[in-house]
Protein backbone atom coordinates (compact mmCIF):
# COMPACT_ATOMS: atom_id res chain seq x y z
CA UNK A 1 0.00 0.00 0.00
CA UNK A 2 2.85 2.37 0.92
CA UNK A 3 4.55 1.82 -2.44
CA UNK A 4 1.27 2.41 -4.29
CA UNK A 5 0.73 5.68 -2.42
CA UNK A 6 4.27 6.83 -3.20
CA UNK A 7 3.88 5.99 -6.88
CA UNK A 8 0.51 7.79 -7.02
CA UNK A 9 1.91 10.85 -5.22
CA UNK A 10 4.89 10.91 -7.57
CA UNK A 11 2.56 10.76 -10.59
CA UNK A 12 0.43 13.62 -9.25
CA UNK A 13 3.44 15.82 -8.53
CA UNK A 14 4.96 15.06 -11.94
CA UNK A 15 1.62 15.73 -13.62
CA UNK A 16 1.21 19.09 -11.88
CA UNK A 17 4.70 20.18 -12.88
CA UNK A 18 4.12 18.99 -16.44
CA UNK A 19 0.89 20.98 -16.67
CA UNK A 20 2.47 24.14 -15.31
CA UNK A 21 5.33 23.79 -17.76
CA UNK A 22 2.83 23.49 -20.63
CA UNK A 23 0.94 26.55 -19.37
CA UNK A 24 4.10 28.63 -19.49
CA UNK A 25 4.91 27.46 -23.02
CA UNK A 26 1.38 28.03 -24.25
CA UNK A 27 1.25 31.49 -22.68
CA UNK A 28 4.57 32.50 -24.21
CA UNK A 29 3.78 31.13 -27.68
CA UNK A 30 0.22 32.49 -27.73
CA UNK A 31 1.24 36.00 -26.75
CA UNK A 32 4.06 35.90 -29.28
CA UNK A 33 1.60 35.29 -32.16
CA UNK A 34 -1.26 37.48 -30.90
CA UNK A 35 -0.60 40.15 -33.52
CA UNK A 36 -0.60 37.48 -36.25
CA UNK A 37 -3.94 36.10 -35.05
CA UNK A 38 -5.44 39.59 -35.29
CA UNK A 39 -3.92 40.06 -38.75
CA UNK A 40 -5.40 36.74 -39.94
CA UNK A 41 -8.80 37.70 -38.56
CA UNK A 42 -8.75 41.07 -40.32
CA UNK A 43 -7.84 39.46 -43.63
CA UNK A 44 -10.71 36.97 -43.35
CA UNK A 45 -13.08 39.71 -42.19
CA UNK A 46 -12.25 41.82 -45.23
CA UNK A 47 -12.74 38.85 -47.55
CA UNK A 48 -15.89 37.05 -46.30
CA UNK A 49 -17.56 34.20 -48.15
CA UNK A 50 -21.03 32.71 -47.79
CA UNK A 51 -21.82 29.11 -46.80
CA UNK A 52 -20.39 26.41 -49.08
CA UNK A 53 -18.55 29.13 -51.02
CA UNK A 54 -15.54 29.56 -48.68
CA UNK A 55 -13.02 28.80 -51.43
CA UNK A 56 -10.43 31.52 -50.71
CA UNK A 57 -10.79 31.15 -46.95
CA UNK A 58 -10.04 27.44 -47.32
CA UNK A 59 -6.90 28.17 -49.38
CA UNK A 60 -5.75 30.68 -46.75
CA UNK A 61 -6.10 28.09 -43.99
CA UNK A 62 -4.54 25.32 -46.07
CA UNK A 63 -1.44 27.40 -46.77
CA UNK A 64 -1.00 28.21 -43.10
CA UNK A 65 -1.34 24.60 -41.93
CA UNK A 66 1.05 23.28 -44.58
CA UNK A 67 3.63 25.88 -43.59
CA UNK A 68 3.44 24.46 -40.07
CA UNK A 69 4.14 20.95 -41.35
CA UNK A 70 0.63 19.75 -40.47
CA UNK A 71 -1.01 17.03 -42.60
CA UNK A 72 -3.85 18.71 -44.52
CA UNK A 73 -7.06 17.40 -46.06
CA UNK A 74 -9.12 19.74 -48.28
CA UNK A 75 -12.52 19.62 -49.95
CA UNK A 76 -14.12 18.05 -46.88
CA UNK A 77 -17.87 18.78 -47.00
CA UNK A 78 -17.23 20.89 -50.12
CA UNK A 79 -14.83 23.57 -48.80
CA UNK A 80 -13.79 22.30 -45.37
CA UNK A 81 -10.15 21.96 -44.32
CA UNK A 82 -8.84 19.43 -41.80
CA UNK A 83 -5.37 19.47 -40.29
CA UNK A 84 -3.83 16.52 -38.44
CA UNK A 85 -0.98 17.04 -35.99
CA UNK A 86 0.53 13.85 -34.58
CA UNK A 87 2.42 14.17 -31.34
CA UNK A 88 5.69 12.40 -30.66
CA UNK A 89 4.02 10.17 -28.07
CA UNK A 90 1.06 7.80 -28.60
CA UNK A 91 -2.33 8.66 -27.15
CA UNK A 92 -5.91 9.68 -27.84
CA UNK A 93 -7.27 11.99 -30.53
CA UNK A 94 -8.78 15.39 -29.75
CA UNK A 95 -10.54 17.58 -32.32
CA UNK A 96 -10.86 21.37 -32.35
CA UNK A 97 -13.39 23.08 -34.59
CA UNK A 98 -13.82 26.55 -36.12
CA UNK A 99 -16.55 27.63 -38.56
CA UNK A 100 -15.61 29.62 -41.67
CA UNK A 101 -18.72 31.09 -43.30
CA UNK A 102 -20.02 34.67 -43.29
CA UNK A 103 -23.55 36.06 -43.51
CA UNK A 104 -25.66 38.01 -46.03
CA UNK A 105 -25.36 41.25 -44.04
CA UNK A 106 -24.12 44.63 -45.29
CA UNK A 107 -21.51 45.93 -42.85
CA UNK A 108 -22.18 49.34 -41.32
CA UNK A 109 -18.98 49.73 -39.28
CA UNK A 110 -16.17 52.06 -40.33
CA UNK A 111 -13.33 49.65 -39.64
CA UNK A 112 -10.23 49.97 -41.83
CA UNK A 113 -10.75 46.29 -42.73
CA UNK A 114 -14.50 46.63 -43.30
CA UNK A 115 -16.03 44.18 -45.74
CA UNK A 116 -17.02 45.62 -49.10
CA UNK A 117 -17.93 42.25 -50.60
CA UNK A 118 -21.36 41.81 -52.16
CA UNK A 119 -23.15 38.70 -53.36
CA UNK A 120 -26.58 37.38 -54.26
CA UNK A 121 -28.63 35.66 -51.58
CA UNK A 122 -32.21 34.40 -52.08
CA UNK A 123 -32.25 36.28 -55.36
CA UNK A 124 -31.27 39.61 -53.77
CA UNK A 125 -27.99 41.49 -54.03
CA UNK A 126 -26.61 42.16 -50.56
CA UNK A 127 -23.37 42.71 -48.69
CA UNK A 128 -21.43 39.84 -47.13
CA UNK A 129 -20.08 40.23 -43.60
CA UNK A 130 -18.59 38.18 -40.79
CA UNK A 131 -21.41 39.35 -38.53
CA UNK A 132 -21.16 36.41 -36.12
CA UNK A 133 -17.43 36.18 -35.43
CA UNK A 134 -16.54 33.14 -37.51
CA UNK A 135 -13.52 35.06 -38.81
CA UNK A 136 -12.22 35.22 -35.24
CA UNK A 137 -12.89 31.51 -34.71
CA UNK A 138 -10.77 30.65 -37.76
CA UNK A 139 -7.95 32.99 -36.72
CA UNK A 140 -7.95 31.62 -33.16
CA UNK A 141 -7.76 28.01 -34.39
CA UNK A 142 -4.98 28.93 -36.84
CA UNK A 143 -3.18 30.32 -33.80
CA UNK A 144 -3.76 27.14 -31.80
CA UNK A 145 -2.34 25.13 -34.70
CA UNK A 146 0.80 27.26 -34.65
CA UNK A 147 1.19 26.96 -30.88
CA UNK A 148 0.68 23.20 -30.75
CA UNK A 149 2.86 22.52 -33.79
CA UNK A 150 5.69 24.16 -31.83
CA UNK A 151 4.93 21.82 -28.90
CA UNK A 152 4.78 18.59 -30.87
CA UNK A 153 7.07 16.78 -28.47
CA UNK A 154 4.66 17.56 -25.61
CA UNK A 155 1.62 16.04 -27.34
CA UNK A 156 0.56 12.56 -26.25
CA UNK A 157 -1.65 11.60 -29.17
CA UNK A 158 -3.13 13.54 -32.07
CA UNK A 159 -4.85 16.89 -32.56
CA UNK A 160 -7.32 17.24 -35.42
CA UNK A 161 -8.08 20.82 -36.55
CA UNK A 162 -11.52 21.03 -38.20
CA UNK A 163 -12.24 24.17 -40.22
CA UNK A 164 -15.91 23.80 -41.07
CA UNK A 165 -17.96 25.46 -43.82
CA UNK A 166 -21.65 26.36 -43.78
CA UNK A 167 -22.38 26.58 -40.07
CA UNK A 168 -25.05 29.15 -40.91
CA UNK A 169 -26.74 26.59 -43.15
CA UNK A 170 -26.06 25.35 -46.66
CA UNK A 171 -27.81 27.06 -49.59
CA UNK A 172 -31.21 25.62 -50.44
CA UNK A 173 -30.89 22.31 -52.21
CA UNK A 174 -27.34 21.67 -50.96
CA UNK A 175 -25.85 19.66 -48.12
CA UNK A 176 -23.24 21.21 -45.90
CA UNK A 177 -21.88 22.07 -42.49
CA UNK A 178 -21.03 19.80 -39.58
CA UNK A 179 -23.67 17.25 -40.57
CA UNK A 180 -22.02 16.67 -43.96
CA UNK A 181 -18.55 16.62 -42.39
CA UNK A 182 -19.67 13.87 -40.01
CA UNK A 183 -21.30 12.02 -42.90
CA UNK A 184 -18.01 12.17 -44.83
CA UNK A 185 -16.08 10.75 -41.86
CA UNK A 186 -14.32 13.78 -40.38
CA UNK A 187 -14.41 12.15 -36.93
CA UNK A 188 -12.72 9.00 -38.28
CA UNK A 189 -9.19 8.12 -39.46
CA UNK A 190 -7.99 8.79 -36.81
CA UNK A 191 -11.04 8.31 -34.64
CA UNK A 192 -11.78 11.34 -32.46
CA UNK A 193 -12.21 10.76 -28.71
CA UNK A 194 -13.42 14.27 -27.77
CA UNK A 195 -14.07 17.60 -29.48
CA UNK A 196 -13.84 21.20 -28.26
CA UNK A 197 -15.23 24.39 -29.78
CA UNK A 198 -15.79 28.01 -28.85
CA UNK A 199 -17.93 30.93 -29.97
CA UNK A 200 -16.97 34.56 -29.54
CA UNK A 201 -19.63 36.72 -27.86
CA UNK A 202 -19.99 40.43 -28.62
CA UNK A 203 -21.97 40.91 -25.41
CA UNK A 204 -19.56 39.19 -23.01
CA UNK A 205 -16.60 41.05 -21.48
CA UNK A 206 -13.14 40.31 -22.84
CA UNK A 207 -11.40 37.91 -20.49
CA UNK A 208 -14.60 36.06 -19.54
CA UNK A 209 -15.69 32.56 -20.52
CA UNK A 210 -19.19 31.11 -20.06
CA UNK A 211 -20.26 27.48 -20.21
CA UNK A 212 -23.03 25.08 -19.23
CA UNK A 213 -23.05 21.31 -18.72
CA UNK A 214 -25.76 19.57 -20.75
CA UNK A 215 -27.85 21.55 -23.22
CA UNK A 216 -26.23 24.95 -23.78
CA UNK A 217 -27.84 25.95 -27.11
CA UNK A 218 -31.21 25.18 -28.65
CA UNK A 219 -32.22 22.88 -31.44
CA UNK A 220 -32.97 24.97 -34.52
CA UNK A 221 -35.39 24.33 -37.38
CA UNK A 222 -36.41 26.42 -40.36
CA UNK A 223 -39.95 26.38 -41.71
CA UNK A 224 -41.65 27.61 -44.88
CA UNK A 225 -45.36 28.32 -45.23
CA UNK A 226 -46.96 28.89 -48.63
CA UNK A 227 -50.44 30.43 -48.71
CA UNK A 228 -52.62 30.24 -51.82
CA UNK A 229 -55.55 32.64 -52.30
CA UNK A 230 -57.28 34.27 -55.23
CA UNK A 231 -56.00 37.41 -56.93
CA UNK A 232 -58.25 40.45 -57.40
CA UNK A 233 -58.22 44.21 -57.87
CA UNK A 234 -57.40 46.08 -54.67
CA UNK A 235 -60.64 48.03 -54.96
CA UNK A 236 -62.72 44.81 -54.84
CA UNK A 237 -61.40 42.73 -51.92
CA UNK A 238 -64.66 40.74 -51.77
CA UNK A 239 -63.67 39.22 -55.11
CA UNK A 240 -60.42 37.91 -53.65
CA UNK A 241 -59.24 35.26 -51.26
CA UNK A 242 -56.62 37.41 -49.59
CA UNK A 243 -53.45 35.42 -48.75
CA UNK A 244 -52.01 38.40 -46.83
CA UNK A 245 -54.92 38.50 -44.38
CA UNK A 246 -54.67 34.71 -43.97
CA UNK A 247 -50.91 35.01 -43.42
CA UNK A 248 -51.34 37.61 -40.68
CA UNK A 249 -53.75 35.34 -38.83
CA UNK A 250 -51.40 32.38 -39.27
CA UNK A 251 -48.56 34.42 -37.71
CA UNK A 252 -50.77 35.39 -34.77
CA UNK A 253 -51.81 31.78 -34.34
CA UNK A 254 -48.23 30.52 -34.30
CA UNK A 255 -47.41 32.78 -31.37
CA UNK A 256 -50.19 31.22 -29.29
CA UNK A 257 -48.44 27.85 -29.58
CA UNK A 258 -45.66 29.38 -27.48
CA UNK A 259 -47.69 31.71 -25.24
CA UNK A 260 -50.65 29.39 -24.52
CA UNK A 261 -49.73 25.80 -25.35
CA UNK A 262 -46.03 25.27 -24.55
CA UNK A 263 -44.95 24.37 -21.01
CA UNK A 264 -42.39 27.15 -20.66
CA UNK A 265 -41.60 26.30 -17.04
CA UNK A 266 -39.97 23.17 -18.47
CA UNK A 267 -37.78 24.83 -21.11
CA UNK A 268 -37.82 27.93 -23.28
CA UNK A 269 -39.06 27.81 -26.88
CA UNK A 270 -39.34 30.31 -29.73
CA UNK A 271 -41.22 30.55 -33.03
CA UNK A 272 -39.99 33.51 -35.09
CA UNK A 273 -41.19 34.78 -38.47
CA UNK A 274 -38.17 36.05 -40.37
CA UNK A 275 -39.81 36.94 -43.68
CA UNK A 276 -43.24 37.41 -45.19
CA UNK A 277 -43.36 38.05 -48.91
CA UNK A 278 -46.50 38.81 -50.91
CA UNK A 279 -47.73 41.20 -53.56
CA UNK A 280 -46.13 43.58 -56.04
CA UNK A 281 -48.17 46.81 -56.03
CA UNK A 282 -50.70 48.80 -54.02
CA UNK A 283 -53.88 47.99 -55.94
CA UNK A 284 -53.46 44.26 -56.50
CA UNK A 285 -54.42 41.64 -53.91
CA UNK A 286 -51.95 38.86 -54.75
CA UNK A 287 -52.60 35.19 -55.26
CA UNK A 288 -49.81 33.89 -53.06
CA UNK A 289 -47.86 34.68 -49.89
CA UNK A 290 -44.80 33.06 -48.35
CA UNK A 291 -43.75 33.00 -44.70
CA UNK A 292 -40.38 31.70 -43.50
CA UNK A 293 -38.97 31.55 -40.02
CA UNK A 294 -37.19 29.58 -37.31
CA UNK A 295 -38.16 27.36 -34.38
CA UNK A 296 -35.90 27.06 -31.30
CA UNK A 297 -36.37 24.36 -28.66
CA UNK A 298 -34.34 23.02 -25.74
CA UNK A 299 -36.37 19.86 -25.23
CA UNK A 300 -37.04 17.24 -27.93
CA UNK A 301 -40.52 16.48 -26.57
CA UNK A 302 -41.46 20.16 -26.84
CA UNK A 303 -39.99 20.27 -30.34
CA UNK A 304 -42.18 17.37 -31.43
CA UNK A 305 -45.28 19.02 -29.91
CA UNK A 306 -44.60 22.42 -31.51
CA UNK A 307 -43.96 20.86 -34.92
CA UNK A 308 -47.24 18.90 -34.70
CA UNK A 309 -49.29 21.92 -33.65
CA UNK A 310 -47.83 24.08 -36.42
CA UNK A 311 -48.73 21.46 -39.01
CA UNK A 312 -52.27 21.25 -37.63
CA UNK A 313 -52.82 24.97 -37.20
CA UNK A 314 -51.46 26.46 -40.44
CA UNK A 315 -53.82 24.79 -42.96
CA UNK A 316 -56.80 25.15 -40.62
CA UNK A 317 -56.33 28.90 -40.15
CA UNK A 318 -55.89 29.38 -43.90
CA UNK A 319 -59.04 27.38 -44.55
CA UNK A 320 -61.04 29.63 -42.20
CA UNK A 321 -60.20 32.51 -44.58
CA UNK A 322 -61.03 30.39 -47.67
CA UNK A 323 -57.33 30.08 -48.52
CA UNK A 324 -55.05 27.05 -48.69
CA UNK A 325 -51.70 26.70 -46.93
CA UNK A 326 -48.89 24.17 -46.73
CA UNK A 327 -46.03 24.08 -44.22
CA UNK A 328 -42.62 22.40 -44.47
CA UNK A 329 -40.35 22.11 -41.42
CA UNK A 330 -36.77 20.95 -41.88
CA UNK A 331 -34.84 18.62 -39.57
CA UNK A 332 -32.51 21.45 -38.56
CA UNK A 333 -29.78 21.33 -35.92
CA UNK A 334 -29.92 19.24 -32.74
CA UNK A 335 -29.49 20.66 -29.24
CA UNK A 336 -25.88 21.66 -28.58
CA UNK A 337 -25.22 19.32 -25.66
CA UNK A 338 -22.08 19.49 -23.54
CA UNK A 339 -21.13 16.05 -22.25
CA UNK A 340 -21.41 16.37 -18.47
CA UNK A 341 -18.46 14.10 -17.68
CA UNK A 342 -16.16 15.83 -20.17
CA UNK A 343 -17.27 19.29 -18.98
CA UNK A 344 -16.55 18.39 -15.36
CA UNK A 345 -13.19 16.92 -16.30
CA UNK A 346 -12.04 19.94 -18.34
CA UNK A 347 -13.55 22.79 -16.30
CA UNK A 348 -10.45 23.04 -14.06
CA UNK A 349 -8.36 23.65 -17.19
CA UNK A 350 -10.58 26.55 -18.31
CA UNK A 351 -10.60 28.02 -14.79
CA UNK A 352 -6.82 27.72 -14.52
CA UNK A 353 -6.21 29.52 -17.83
CA UNK A 354 -8.88 32.23 -17.58
CA UNK A 355 -8.97 32.58 -13.80
CA UNK A 356 -11.73 30.96 -11.75
CA UNK A 357 -13.65 34.23 -11.26
CA UNK A 358 -13.75 34.76 -15.03
CA UNK A 359 -15.42 31.41 -15.80
CA UNK A 360 -19.19 31.59 -15.36
CA UNK A 361 -21.88 28.93 -15.65
CA UNK A 362 -24.93 30.21 -17.55
CA UNK A 363 -28.46 29.17 -18.44
CA UNK A 364 -29.11 27.73 -21.89
CA UNK A 365 -29.52 30.16 -24.78
CA UNK A 366 -31.90 29.94 -27.76
CA UNK A 367 -29.15 30.43 -30.31
CA UNK A 368 -28.22 27.27 -32.20
CA UNK A 369 -25.04 25.62 -33.44
CA UNK A 370 -24.39 22.73 -35.79
CA UNK A 371 -21.43 21.81 -33.56
CA UNK A 372 -24.21 19.66 -32.09
CA UNK A 373 -23.77 17.14 -34.92
CA UNK A 374 -20.21 16.43 -33.72
CA UNK A 375 -21.47 16.09 -30.15
CA UNK A 376 -23.98 13.43 -31.23
CA UNK A 377 -21.05 11.19 -32.22
CA UNK A 378 -18.33 11.98 -29.65
CA UNK A 379 -18.22 13.77 -26.28
CA UNK A 380 -17.95 17.52 -26.86
CA UNK A 381 -17.53 20.75 -24.92
CA UNK A 382 -18.61 24.10 -26.34
CA UNK A 383 -18.16 27.44 -24.59
CA UNK A 384 -18.44 31.19 -25.15
CA UNK A 385 -15.46 33.56 -25.24
CA UNK A 386 -15.74 37.23 -24.34
CA UNK A 387 -15.38 39.70 -27.21
CA UNK A 388 -16.85 42.92 -25.76
CA UNK A 389 -14.61 45.85 -24.85
CA UNK A 390 -14.72 46.60 -21.13
CA UNK A 391 -15.71 50.23 -21.71
CA UNK A 392 -18.84 49.23 -23.69
CA UNK A 393 -22.06 48.64 -21.76
CA UNK A 394 -23.72 45.27 -22.48
CA UNK A 395 -26.90 47.01 -23.66
CA UNK A 396 -24.84 49.05 -26.15
CA UNK A 397 -23.02 46.08 -27.66
CA UNK A 398 -24.27 45.31 -31.18
CA UNK A 399 -25.72 41.83 -31.45
CA UNK A 400 -24.62 38.96 -33.65
CA UNK A 401 -26.06 38.88 -37.19
CA UNK A 402 -26.37 42.68 -37.26
CA UNK A 403 -24.63 45.28 -39.51
CA UNK A 404 -22.94 46.93 -36.49
CA UNK A 405 -21.47 43.72 -35.02
CA UNK A 406 -18.09 44.53 -33.45
CA UNK A 407 -15.44 42.62 -31.51
CA UNK A 408 -12.58 43.59 -29.22
CA UNK A 409 -9.63 41.68 -30.66
CA UNK A 410 -7.74 41.64 -27.35
CA UNK A 411 -9.93 38.69 -26.33
CA UNK A 412 -8.62 36.37 -29.03
CA UNK A 413 -5.42 35.37 -27.22
CA UNK A 414 -7.43 33.84 -24.36
CA UNK A 415 -9.21 31.69 -26.94
CA UNK A 416 -5.85 30.44 -28.26
CA UNK A 417 -4.55 29.66 -24.77
CA UNK A 418 -7.74 27.91 -23.70
CA UNK A 419 -8.13 25.64 -26.73
CA UNK A 420 -4.42 24.74 -26.69
CA UNK A 421 -4.54 23.96 -22.96
CA UNK A 422 -7.73 21.92 -23.26
CA UNK A 423 -6.09 19.85 -26.00
CA UNK A 424 -2.90 19.08 -24.09
CA UNK A 425 -4.62 18.52 -20.74
CA UNK A 426 -7.14 16.12 -22.29
CA UNK A 427 -4.47 14.15 -24.12
CA UNK A 428 -2.03 14.10 -21.23
CA UNK A 429 -4.62 12.97 -18.70
Classify 269 as helix, strand or coil. strand
DSSP-assigned letters across all residues of 186-247: TTTTTTPSEEEEEEEEEEEETT-EEE-SEEEE-EEEEEEEEEE-B-EETT-GGGSB-HHHHH
The torsion defined by the Cα of 196, 199, 203 and 206, in degrees rounded to 10, comes to 60
- Rounded distance between C-alpha atoms, residue 117 and residue 220, angstroms: 28
β pairing state of 324-329 and 284-285: unpaired
- Rounded distance between C-alpha atoms, residue 318 and residue 325, angstroms: 6
- Rounded distance between C-alpha atoms, residue 136 and residue 40, angstroms: 8
Taking each helix axis from N to C end, the angle separating 340-354 and 412-428, rounded to the nearest 10 degrees, works out to 130
Would you please indicate which residues are annotated as catalytic (active-site) residues?
A: 333, 409
CA 16 to chain centre: 33
User: Are 132 and 140 a contacting pair, CB within 8 Å?
Assistant: no
Amino acid sequence: MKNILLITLSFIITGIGYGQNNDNKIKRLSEKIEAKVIEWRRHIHQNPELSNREFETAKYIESHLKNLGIIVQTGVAKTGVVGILKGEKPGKVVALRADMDALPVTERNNLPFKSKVTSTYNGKKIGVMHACGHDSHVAILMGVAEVLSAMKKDIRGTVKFIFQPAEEGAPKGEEGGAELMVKEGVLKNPNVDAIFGLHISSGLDVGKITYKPGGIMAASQSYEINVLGKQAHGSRPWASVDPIVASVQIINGLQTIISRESELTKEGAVITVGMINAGIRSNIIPERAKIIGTIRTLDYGMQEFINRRMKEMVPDIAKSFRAEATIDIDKGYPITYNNEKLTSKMLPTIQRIAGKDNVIEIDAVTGAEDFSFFQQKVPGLYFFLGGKALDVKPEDAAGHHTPDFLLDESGFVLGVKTLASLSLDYLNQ
